[in-house]
């Protein structure tokens, strides 16, 4: 019985690790708080966007309610997500 519970725990850990290795999206959501300049600044500084790319993402989020701003593995995106949250942007990894 103990062996089965260990096997289940290992399977759960493998599923979590697999999810973190897959391609995920860092999504920026529109808000009525931050200015375009602040969003553009954050995207250039935190996500390494060029100014044109950052401006386009800000416009897409404004017009569509959200925009995928970065794609990659979960661990790569997680730091960016927390830095953007610390900058008062609304983001999540999907």
Q: What would the DSSP string read from start to end of 39-65?
A: HHHHHHHHS---HHHHHHHHHHHHHHS
Q: Nearest to residue 81, comparing CAs of 41, 43, 34?
A: 43
3-state secondary structure of 27: strand
Q: Which domains, ranges and CATH numbers included, belong to the chain?
A: 23-93 (3.30.1390.10)
6-49 pLDDT, tens digit each: 555 565 565 555 555 679 999 999 999 999 999 999 999 999 99
44-87 pLDDT, tens digit each: 999 999 999 999 999 999 999 999 999 999 999 999 999 999 99
Six-digit token string for 34: 């931050």
The span from the CA of 90 to the CA of 28, in Å, is 6
């Amino acid at each position: 019985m103990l062996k089965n519970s260990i096997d289940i725990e290992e399977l759960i850990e493998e599923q979590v690790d697999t999810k973190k290795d897959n391609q995920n999206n860092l999504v920026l959501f529109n808000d009525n708080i931050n200015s375009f300049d602040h969003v553009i600044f954050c995207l250039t500084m935190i996500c390494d966007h060029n100014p044109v790319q950052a401006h386009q993402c800000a416009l897409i989020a404004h017009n569509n309610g959200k925009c995928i701003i970065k794609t990659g593995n979960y661990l790569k995106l997680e730091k960016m997500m927390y830095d953007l949250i610390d900058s008062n942007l609304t983001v999540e990894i999907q």
